[in-house]
């Protein structure tokens, strides 16, 4: 789209240079033919160094843009981006190239593989599996029945995904009108599972808004786990059943999340941290340790708290 077309689509005024925009991206990752946005002041530092061609942002922040970056002024940047994201959605089936199947791979008759997909050597793709357009599957991968891998997703070598899991479904992102209506923010990124990852049954890994949701090498994810959009799960981490991470949260390597533990969005969790069952994380964790409870506290303190509470209840 051209900038003039974009301005008209999102309902803002722009009469400057009309350039072509190829896609949308974050302030940090955008290049000279992409458009980005600023809707949260905590990302102002990224605005100062962005390489985007244009940025949708409030008028008060326009002066922070680097020289040559075009401002599209919007009173509601997040709403504008939600409206614009629809224009850059890729078709579900967009490739004319037949899928490529590696040597020794077994594809069950009822599996469906879209054009453009690539499957490595010695894979087993079982009944009811769906692999989307331009998805890439490495070597020695096993996809159990009814696994769904959305378009553009990437799965490394020696990965196991158990029955009913979904890799790359849309993240839960909406802009909200003043009347309480919910406008979909289309998720145009992908999900990446690195080598030696195992995903349990009926687990969901959402694709990113832009870029990738990443499960890093060697991580083990249990059944019934939810991983939100743009999350990064560090190397060799473990997430136990019914745990979940909200969007844009980053786990360091070897993080352990006990059953039904959860994090809020946009947090970072220090490497080698353990979260006990039913822990609720609302702030970033910068010091490795064992944590429990809600509100979250160090596990030793939580045990003392529980002991004192028991005495109070007995009295």
Reported as a single tens digit per residue, the pLDDT across 11-63 is 999 999 999 999 999 999 999 999 999 998 888 999 999 999 999 999 999 99
- The residues facing 55 across adjacent strands are 36, 71
Q: Which residues of 165-181 are buried (b: 16+ CB within 10 A; e: fewer)?
A: bbbbbebebebeeeeee
pTM of this prediction? 0.93
Q: Which of 112, 229, 266, 299 is catalytic?
A: 229
- The residues facing 112 across adjacent strands are 130
In 3-state terms, what secondary structure has residue 299?
helix
| Spacing of C-alpha 59 from chain mean position | 29
- Helix axis angle, 3-10 to 77-85, nearest 10°: 110
Over pLDDT 70: what percentage of the chain?
100
pLDDT (0 to 100) of residue 94: 72
Integer CA distances (angstroms), 141 to 138, 246, 286, in order: 6, 27, 35
Look up the CATH number of domain 3-88. 3.40.1390.10
Q: How far is 188 from 23, CA to CA, in rounded Å?
A: 9
User: Which among 265, 57, 212, 259 has a CA at the least distance from the CA of 251?
Assistant: 265
Task: Note if 299 is an active site residue.
Answer: no
Tokens 């990437």, located at residue: 154
Rama region for 264: left / alpha / beta (φ>0; ψ in -120 to 50; rest): beta
Residues 177-194 pLDDT 10s? 999 999 999 999 999 999
Instruction: Tell me which H or E stretch contains 154.
Output: strand 154-155
Mean pLDDT value of segment 279-295: 97
């Amino acid at each position: 789209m051209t900038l003039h077309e974009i301005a008209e689509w999102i309902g803002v005024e722009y009469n400057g240079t009309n350039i072509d925009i190829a896609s949308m991206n974050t302030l940090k990752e955008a290049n000279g033919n992409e458009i980005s946005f600023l809707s949260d002041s905590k990302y102002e530092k990224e605005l100062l160094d962005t390489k985007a061609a244009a940025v949708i942002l409030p008028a008060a922040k326009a002066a922070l843009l680097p020289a040559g970056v075009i401002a599209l002024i919007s009173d509601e940047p997040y709403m504008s981006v939600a409206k614009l994201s629809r224009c850059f959605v890729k078709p579900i089936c967009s490739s004319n190239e037949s899928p490529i199947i590696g040597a020794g791979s077994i594809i069950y008759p009822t599996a469906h593989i879209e054009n453009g997909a690539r499957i490595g050597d010695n894979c087993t793709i079982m009944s009811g599996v769906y692999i989307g357009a331009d998805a890439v599957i490495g070597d020695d991968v096993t996809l159990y029945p009814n696994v769904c891998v959305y378009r553009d997703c990437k799965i490394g070598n020696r990965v196991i995904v158990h029955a009913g899991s979904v890799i790359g479904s849309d993240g839960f992102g909406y802009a909200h009108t003043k009347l309480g209506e919910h406008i979909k923010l289309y998720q145009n990124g992908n999900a990446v599972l690195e080598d030696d990852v195992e995903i349990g049954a009926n687990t969901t890994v959402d694709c990113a808004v832009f870029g990738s949701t990443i499960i890093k090498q060697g991580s083990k994810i249990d059944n019934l786990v939810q991983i939100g959009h743009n999350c990064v799960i560090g190397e060799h981490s473990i997430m136990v059943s019914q745990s979940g991470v909200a969007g844009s949260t980053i786990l360091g390597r070897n993080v352990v999340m006990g059953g039904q533990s959860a994090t809020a969005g946009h947090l970072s969790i220090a490497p080698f941290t353990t979260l006990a069952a039913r822990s609720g994380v609302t702030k970033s964790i910068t010091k490795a340790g064992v944590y429990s409870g809600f509100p979250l506290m160090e596990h030793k303190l939580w045990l003392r708290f529980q002991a004192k509470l028991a005495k109070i209840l007995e009295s």
